[in-house]
Amino acid sequence: MSPSGPIDRTVEYVKSALAGEGSGHDWWHVYRVWQTAKRIGEAERADLLIVELAALLHDIADWKAHQGDSTVGAEVARNWLLSLDLDHGLIEHVRQIVADISFKGAGVKQPELSLEGEVVQDADRLDAMGAMGIARAFAYGGARGRLIHDPTVKPMEHHTAESYLKSGGTTINHFHEKLLLLKDRMNTPTGSEIAERRHRFMEEYLRRFHEEWERG
């Protein structure tokens, strides 16, 4: 089977699986992560077949929608790749990336990643930053019934994935609990360069948000 075969089939599979998803973890999020991962992977000389498959499957069963169980998405990805009759080592590599790349709280230790895992994680985190990240943050907050902002509710540093998952904080707090932390948690030089620009945009957005909140 040529490399384009499993990619094309996986694209159609993920599109179908995520149809109707409204929390910001939809097909177009996956598409952006896929495209960014290819860009970073090429620059960092990663194995692009692994990068592309992992990027396409990274949110196939998001852990936040499965009571914090990060094994669900990894196993769904594994089963799909088994159906494509791919090399066992490649399947295990992709499964491990899907299991390990998610942010689960500022104080939660990050598992060691392969180069390909670092590339996909950077691409996923970049889609949580900048203009796109701002849009997704409010989409996710709305889907979870969260307030936009409450000055009396302060950001938290979550030390367990369970604490992060169960957090009922505001969307503005989410910037401080995750999004503004991502710039300094990028893995690759290419990802870091892109993150700098997106981080500055978020900082300016928050400055304007608080200015309008206080002054009307």
For the chain, the domain total comes to 1
Looking at residue 3, what is its pLDDT? 47
Range of the domain at 169: 4-215
Looking at residue 19, what is its pLDDT? 85
Residue 211's CATH number: 1.10.3210.50
Looking at residue 165, what is its pLDDT? 64
Looking at residue 1, what is its pLDDT? 44
b/e for 150-188, b at 16 or more Cβ within 10 A? eeeeebbebeebeebeebebbbbbbbbbbbbebbebbbb
Looking at residue 70, what is its pLDDT? 64
Report pTM: 0.89
User: Which of 110, 111, 108 is closest to 157 using CA atoms?
Assistant: 108
Q: What angle do CA 86, 77, 115 make, to 5 degrees?
A: 75
- Helix residue spans in 84-177 (DSSP H): 88-100, 115-126, 130-143, 161-166, 171-177
Query: What is the chain's pLDDT, residue by residue, as a tens digit (216 residues)?
Result: 444 599 999 999 999 999 877 667 899 999 999 999 999 999 999 999 999 999 999 999 865 544 546 678 899 999 999 999 999 999 999 999 999 998 866 677 888 999 999 999 999 999 999 999 999 999 989 988 999 999 999 888 766 656 556 667 899 999 999 999 999 999 999 999 999 999 999 999 999 999 999 986
Looking at residue 119, what is its pLDDT? 98
Looking at residue 157, what is its pLDDT? 77
